[in-house]
Structure 1
Amino acid sequence: MKQWLLVFIGGGIGSVLRYLVSKSFNTYFTHFFYLGTFLVNILGCLLIGFILGLSVKGDYLSENQTLLLATGFCGGFTTFSTFAFEKHALLTAGELFHFSFYLMASIIMGIAAVAFGLWMAKMA
Protein backbone atom coordinates (compact mmCIF):
# COMPACT_ATOMS: atom_id res chain seq x y z
CA MET A 1 0.00 0.00 0.00
CA LYS A 2 2.90 2.38 0.75
CA GLN A 3 4.26 1.87 -2.76
CA TRP A 4 0.88 2.75 -4.30
CA LEU A 5 0.80 5.93 -2.27
CA LEU A 6 4.31 6.90 -3.41
CA VAL A 7 3.37 6.42 -7.08
CA PHE A 8 0.12 8.35 -6.51
CA ILE A 9 1.89 11.31 -4.88
CA GLY A 10 4.69 11.42 -7.46
CA GLY A 11 2.19 11.13 -10.32
CA GLY A 12 0.05 13.93 -8.92
CA ILE A 13 2.99 16.29 -8.57
CA GLY A 14 4.24 15.39 -12.05
CA SER A 15 0.80 15.90 -13.59
CA VAL A 16 0.35 19.34 -12.03
CA LEU A 17 3.80 20.41 -13.16
CA ARG A 18 3.11 19.10 -16.69
CA TYR A 19 -0.12 21.09 -16.79
CA LEU A 20 1.67 24.29 -15.75
CA VAL A 21 4.50 23.88 -18.26
CA SER A 22 2.17 22.89 -21.10
CA LYS A 23 -0.22 25.75 -20.38
CA SER A 24 2.67 28.23 -20.30
CA PHE A 25 4.46 27.10 -23.46
CA ASN A 26 1.75 25.63 -25.72
CA THR A 27 -0.06 28.98 -25.86
CA TYR A 28 2.70 30.50 -27.98
CA PHE A 29 3.40 27.64 -30.35
CA THR A 30 0.04 25.97 -31.02
CA HIS A 31 -0.68 24.98 -34.64
CA PHE A 32 2.86 24.08 -35.62
CA PHE A 33 4.83 22.91 -32.59
CA TYR A 34 3.61 22.05 -29.10
CA LEU A 35 6.64 23.28 -27.16
CA GLY A 36 5.20 22.59 -23.70
CA THR A 37 4.52 18.94 -24.43
CA PHE A 38 7.89 18.62 -26.15
CA LEU A 39 9.69 20.12 -23.15
CA VAL A 40 7.99 17.92 -20.55
CA ASN A 41 8.59 14.78 -22.59
CA ILE A 42 12.29 15.52 -23.23
CA LEU A 43 12.93 16.66 -19.65
CA GLY A 44 11.04 13.57 -18.41
CA CYS A 45 13.29 11.36 -20.56
CA LEU A 46 16.37 13.04 -19.10
CA LEU A 47 15.06 12.65 -15.56
CA ILE A 48 14.03 9.03 -15.92
CA GLY A 49 17.42 8.17 -17.42
CA PHE A 50 19.16 9.88 -14.51
CA ILE A 51 16.86 8.39 -11.85
CA LEU A 52 17.04 4.84 -13.19
CA GLY A 53 20.76 5.21 -13.79
CA LEU A 54 21.23 6.14 -10.13
CA SER A 55 19.02 3.29 -8.95
CA VAL A 56 20.99 0.75 -10.97
CA LYS A 57 24.35 2.24 -9.98
CA GLY A 58 24.10 1.28 -6.35
CA ASP A 59 22.75 2.58 -3.08
CA TYR A 60 21.86 6.05 -4.36
CA LEU A 61 18.10 5.52 -4.46
CA SER A 62 15.90 3.05 -2.62
CA GLU A 63 13.16 1.11 -4.37
CA ASN A 64 10.58 3.45 -2.82
CA GLN A 65 12.42 6.57 -4.00
CA THR A 66 12.64 5.10 -7.49
CA LEU A 67 8.91 4.38 -7.47
CA LEU A 68 8.13 7.93 -6.30
CA LEU A 69 10.42 9.63 -8.82
CA ALA A 70 10.54 7.38 -11.92
CA THR A 71 7.18 5.64 -11.93
CA GLY A 72 5.19 8.35 -10.14
CA PHE A 73 6.68 11.74 -11.00
CA CYS A 74 8.06 10.96 -14.47
CA GLY A 75 4.98 8.92 -15.33
CA GLY A 76 2.70 11.82 -14.38
CA PHE A 77 4.97 14.50 -15.85
CA THR A 78 5.40 13.02 -19.33
CA THR A 79 2.51 12.29 -21.64
CA PHE A 80 2.32 9.97 -24.60
CA SER A 81 -1.42 10.41 -25.08
CA THR A 82 -1.12 14.20 -25.51
CA PHE A 83 1.87 13.65 -27.80
CA ALA A 84 -0.23 11.32 -29.99
CA PHE A 85 -3.23 13.68 -29.98
CA GLU A 86 -1.08 16.62 -31.08
CA LYS A 87 0.43 14.57 -33.91
CA HIS A 88 -3.08 13.68 -35.05
CA ALA A 89 -4.10 17.36 -34.92
CA LEU A 90 -1.13 18.34 -37.08
CA LEU A 91 -1.92 15.60 -39.61
CA THR A 92 -5.60 16.49 -39.89
CA ALA A 93 -4.64 20.17 -40.32
CA GLY A 94 -2.45 19.15 -43.26
CA GLU A 95 0.74 20.23 -41.47
CA LEU A 96 2.87 17.35 -42.75
CA PHE A 97 6.20 19.17 -42.33
CA HIS A 98 5.43 20.23 -38.74
CA PHE A 99 4.08 16.76 -37.97
CA SER A 100 7.26 15.12 -39.27
CA PHE A 101 9.60 17.58 -37.57
CA TYR A 102 7.84 17.33 -34.19
CA LEU A 103 7.67 13.54 -34.38
CA MET A 104 11.32 13.04 -35.29
CA ALA A 105 12.60 15.71 -32.90
CA SER A 106 10.62 14.15 -30.04
CA ILE A 107 11.86 10.63 -30.70
CA ILE A 108 15.50 11.54 -31.34
CA MET A 109 15.75 14.05 -28.50
CA GLY A 110 13.88 11.70 -26.13
CA ILE A 111 16.27 8.83 -26.72
CA ALA A 112 19.26 11.18 -26.51
CA ALA A 113 17.94 12.65 -23.25
CA VAL A 114 17.56 9.18 -21.68
CA ALA A 115 21.11 8.31 -22.75
CA PHE A 116 22.43 11.61 -21.36
CA GLY A 117 20.58 11.04 -18.09
CA LEU A 118 22.10 7.58 -17.77
CA TRP A 119 25.53 9.04 -18.51
CA MET A 120 25.04 11.76 -15.86
CA ALA A 121 24.08 9.12 -13.30
CA LYS A 122 27.16 7.10 -14.19
CA MET A 123 29.34 10.17 -13.64
CA ALA A 124 27.69 11.01 -10.29
Structure 2
Amino acid sequence: MLEKLGLIALAGAAGTLARYWISGFVYGLAGRQFPWGTATANILGCFLFGLIWQLGEGRMLIRTETRAIILTGFMGAFTTFSTFIFESGGLIEDGRYLTALANVGFQTVLGFAALFGGLMLGRMF
Protein backbone atom coordinates (compact mmCIF):
# COMPACT_ATOMS: atom_id res chain seq x y z
CA MET A 1 0.00 0.00 0.00
CA LEU A 2 2.81 2.43 0.86
CA GLU A 3 4.48 1.70 -2.46
CA LYS A 4 1.25 2.50 -4.33
CA LEU A 5 0.83 5.76 -2.38
CA GLY A 6 4.41 6.70 -3.17
CA LEU A 7 3.89 6.04 -6.87
CA ILE A 8 0.68 8.11 -6.84
CA ALA A 9 2.57 10.95 -5.15
CA LEU A 10 5.41 10.77 -7.71
CA ALA A 11 2.91 10.70 -10.57
CA GLY A 12 1.15 13.68 -8.97
CA ALA A 13 4.40 15.62 -8.86
CA ALA A 14 4.98 14.83 -12.54
CA GLY A 15 1.43 15.93 -13.39
CA THR A 16 1.89 19.21 -11.52
CA LEU A 17 5.14 19.94 -13.32
CA ALA A 18 3.64 18.99 -16.70
CA ARG A 19 0.70 21.35 -16.16
CA TYR A 20 3.04 24.16 -15.09
CA TRP A 21 5.26 23.66 -18.14
CA ILE A 22 2.44 23.31 -20.68
CA SER A 23 0.49 26.27 -19.32
CA GLY A 24 3.58 28.46 -19.24
CA PHE A 25 4.57 27.42 -22.76
CA VAL A 26 1.12 28.18 -24.16
CA TYR A 27 0.85 31.50 -22.30
CA GLY A 28 4.26 32.41 -23.70
CA LEU A 29 2.99 31.79 -27.23
CA ALA A 30 -0.55 33.13 -26.98
CA GLY A 31 -0.37 35.74 -24.21
CA ARG A 32 -2.76 36.09 -21.30
CA GLN A 33 -5.75 37.84 -22.86
CA PHE A 34 -7.60 34.51 -22.65
CA PRO A 35 -6.74 31.60 -20.32
CA TRP A 36 -5.27 29.53 -23.16
CA GLY A 37 -2.74 27.81 -20.91
CA THR A 38 -5.39 26.48 -18.56
CA ALA A 39 -7.72 25.62 -21.44
CA THR A 40 -4.93 23.68 -23.16
CA ALA A 41 -4.11 21.71 -20.02
CA ASN A 42 -7.78 20.94 -19.38
CA ILE A 43 -8.55 19.83 -22.93
CA LEU A 44 -5.32 17.84 -23.24
CA GLY A 45 -6.11 16.28 -19.87
CA CYS A 46 -9.55 15.20 -21.09
CA PHE A 47 -8.01 13.61 -24.17
CA LEU A 48 -5.35 11.79 -22.14
CA PHE A 49 -7.88 10.62 -19.56
CA GLY A 50 -10.06 9.12 -22.30
CA LEU A 51 -7.06 7.50 -24.00
CA ILE A 52 -5.67 5.99 -20.80
CA TRP A 53 -9.08 4.77 -19.69
CA GLN A 54 -9.78 3.12 -23.03
CA LEU A 55 -6.34 1.53 -23.26
CA GLY A 56 -6.78 0.16 -19.75
CA GLU A 57 -10.46 -0.66 -19.42
CA GLY A 58 -11.42 -1.20 -23.04
CA ARG A 59 -8.27 -2.75 -24.51
CA MET A 60 -6.70 -4.14 -21.33
CA LEU A 61 -3.30 -2.74 -22.35
CA ILE A 62 -2.74 -0.90 -19.05
CA ARG A 63 -3.00 -2.81 -15.78
CA THR A 64 -5.63 -1.65 -13.28
CA GLU A 65 -2.97 -0.66 -10.71
CA THR A 66 -0.98 1.30 -13.28
CA ARG A 67 -4.11 3.00 -14.61
CA ALA A 68 -5.07 4.04 -11.06
CA ILE A 69 -1.62 5.54 -10.48
CA ILE A 70 -1.72 7.45 -13.78
CA LEU A 71 -5.31 8.66 -13.50
CA THR A 72 -5.28 9.47 -9.79
CA GLY A 73 -1.71 10.72 -9.51
CA PHE A 74 -0.64 12.27 -12.80
CA MET A 75 -4.05 13.25 -14.17
CA GLY A 76 -5.34 14.31 -10.74
CA ALA A 77 -2.51 16.81 -10.49
CA PHE A 78 -2.52 17.72 -14.19
CA THR A 79 -6.24 18.55 -14.19
CA THR A 80 -9.27 17.47 -12.19
CA PHE A 81 -11.34 18.95 -15.01
CA SER A 82 -10.72 15.77 -16.97
CA THR A 83 -12.33 13.68 -14.22
CA PHE A 84 -15.29 16.04 -14.10
CA ILE A 85 -15.77 15.71 -17.87
CA PHE A 86 -15.23 11.92 -17.76
CA GLU A 87 -17.87 11.45 -15.07
CA SER A 88 -20.31 13.75 -16.85
CA GLY A 89 -19.63 11.88 -20.11
CA GLY A 90 -20.40 8.60 -18.36
CA LEU A 91 -23.79 9.96 -17.34
CA ILE A 92 -24.46 10.97 -20.95
CA GLU A 93 -23.37 7.54 -22.24
CA ASP A 94 -25.79 5.96 -19.75
CA GLY A 95 -28.59 8.10 -21.18
CA ARG A 96 -28.84 10.13 -17.98
CA TYR A 97 -28.88 13.48 -19.75
CA LEU A 98 -30.65 15.46 -17.05
CA THR A 99 -28.31 14.11 -14.38
CA ALA A 100 -25.32 15.09 -16.55
CA LEU A 101 -26.74 18.58 -17.05
CA ALA A 102 -27.46 18.85 -13.33
CA ASN A 103 -23.90 17.76 -12.52
CA VAL A 104 -22.37 20.33 -14.87
CA GLY A 105 -24.68 23.10 -13.68
CA PHE A 106 -24.38 22.19 -10.00
CA GLN A 107 -20.60 22.07 -9.95
CA THR A 108 -20.19 25.15 -12.12
CA VAL A 109 -22.63 27.36 -10.21
CA LEU A 110 -21.50 26.19 -6.78
CA GLY A 111 -17.86 26.40 -7.88
CA PHE A 112 -18.31 30.09 -8.74
CA ALA A 113 -20.24 30.66 -5.51
CA ALA A 114 -17.49 28.99 -3.48
CA LEU A 115 -14.79 30.97 -5.29
CA PHE A 116 -16.46 34.31 -4.61
CA GLY A 117 -17.34 33.25 -1.06
CA GLY A 118 -13.68 32.45 -0.43
CA LEU A 119 -12.62 35.76 -1.96
CA MET A 120 -15.07 37.67 0.23
CA LEU A 121 -13.98 35.82 3.37
CA GLY A 122 -10.33 36.39 2.51
CA ARG A 123 -10.95 40.12 2.13
CA MET A 124 -12.30 40.25 5.69
CA PHE A 125 -8.90 39.38 7.18
Normalized against structure 2, the TM-score is what?
0.57
> Residue by residue, what CA displacement relative to the aligned partner does 1:56-115 show, whole Å, maximum 9, x if unpaired?
1243111221122111111111255xxxxxxxxxxxxxxxxxxxxxxxxxx9xx67xx89
Corresponding pairs, count = 84
Deviation >3 Å, runs of 4+:
none
Instruction: Give the Cα separation in 1 of the matches to 2:54 and 2:60.
Output: 11
Instruction: Give the Cα separation in 2 of the matches to 1:52 and 1:79.
Output: 15
Partner residue in 1 for 2:15: 14
Instruction: Give the Cα separation in 2 of the matches to 1:61 and 1:10.
Output: 15
Q: Which stretches in structure 2 are left out of the alignment for 5+ residues? A: 91-125
3-state secondary structure, aligned to 2:49: helix
1:15 offset after TM fit, Å?
Answer: 0.5
Instruction: Give the Cα separation in 2 of the matches to 1:29 and 1:79.
Output: 24
- Identity of paired residues, percent? 31
1:39 offset after TM fit, Å?
Answer: 0.8
Normalized against structure 1, the TM-score is what?
0.57
Task: Give the aligned CA root-mean-square deviation in angstroms.
Answer: 2.5
Q: RCO higher in 1 or 2 (8 Å CA, sep ≥ 6)?
A: 1
Q: Which stretches in structure 1 are left out of the alignment for 5+ residues? A: 81-106, 116-124
> Residue by residue, what CA displacement relative to the aligned partner does 1:7-44 show, whole Å, maximum 9, x if unpaired?
1111110100111111222244313x111111111011
Mapping for residues 30-45 of structure 1, pairs under 5 Å: 30-31=32-33, 33-45=34-46
The structure-2 alpha-carbon separation of the partners of 1:23 and 1:79, relative to structure 1 and needing over 3 Å to count, comes to farther
8 Å CA contact 1:6, 1:64 repeated in 2: no
